[in-house]
Amino acid sequence: MFENPDALKTYTPQLQQLNFKALMNAFAYPGRIQNLHGQGPALEQVLATLIDGEVGLADPDALLNGDVRMRLEARMVVADHANFVVCNGGKSPAFQPMLGTLEEPEYGATLVLQVHGFDNSDAALPMVLKGPGIEQENTLHVTGLNEAWLQRRAFWNAAFPTGVDFILVGENQVVALPRTTQVQGEF
Q: What CATH number did the domain enclosing 166 receive?
A: 3.40.50.11310
Report yes or no on 1 lying in a domain: no
pLDDT tens track for 96-135: 999 999 999 999 999 999 999 999 888 899 999 999 999 9
Q: What is the pLDDT of residue 135?
A: 93
Report yes or no on 97 lying in a domain: yes
Confirm whether pTM is higher than 0.75: yes
Report yes or no on 3 lying in a domain: no
Q: Parallel, antiparallel, or unpaired: how do β-strands 56-58 and 75-76 relate?
A: parallel
- Residue 45's contacts (CB-CB under 8 Å, 6 or more residues apart) are 10, 15, 19, 36, 37, 38
| Of 53, 114, 120, residue with least CA distance to 85 | 114
Instruction: Give me the domain span that covers residue 110.
Output: 8-184
Q: What is the pLDDT of residue 2?
A: 47
Helices H / strands E in the chain, number of each: 4, 10
What is the percent of the chain with per-residue pLDDT over 70, rounded to a whole number? 96
pLDDT tens track for 150-182: 999 999 999 999 999 999 999 999 999 999 999
Q: How far is Cα 186 from Cα 179, in angstroms, rounded to an integer? A: 19
Report yes or no on 158 lying in a domain: yes
